Amino acid sequence: MKAVYKNTVLAESDHTEIVENNHYFPRKDVKMEHFTKSDKQYTCPWKGDATYYHIQAGEELLKNAAWSYEDPKEKAKNIAGHICFESKYVKP
């Protein structure tokens, strides 16, 4: 799977975790140089507290376009250390 915005590859992995039809990419497969933490906050009842990221792709800033669960609840431990993107950026 790949996460791509225009010509910028944001992540690429053969080992994504799928949760609620979203692909979570291992952090080691994400090009973190494109990311800055956002102030947005969200708590999922079963996954826990989300950390959001803005993505810088060339001259464009995609606000809150990626997220992770740094310390997920027990039922979501498989996505610890993974980053998820809005589905419109993810391609096989």
Q: How confident is the model at residue 85 (pLDDT cuts 50, 70, 90)?
A: very high
Rounded to whole angstroms, the Cα distance separating 19 from 63 reads 22
pLDDT in the model for residue 16? 98
Per the structure, the complete domain to which residue 87 belongs is given by 2-91
Q: Domain containing 41 — which CATH number?
A: 2.170.150.40
- List, for residues 19-77, the tens digit of each pLDDT value: 999 999 999 999 999 999 999 999 999 999 999 999 999 999 999 999 999 999 999 99
Specify the 3-state DSSP secondary structure of 81. coil
User: What is the per-residue burial (b if ≥16 Cβ within 10 Å, else e) of 56-72?
Assistant: ebeeeebeebbbbbeeb
pLDDT in the model for residue 76? 97
Number of structural domains found in the chain: 1
Structure tokens at 56: 């810088």
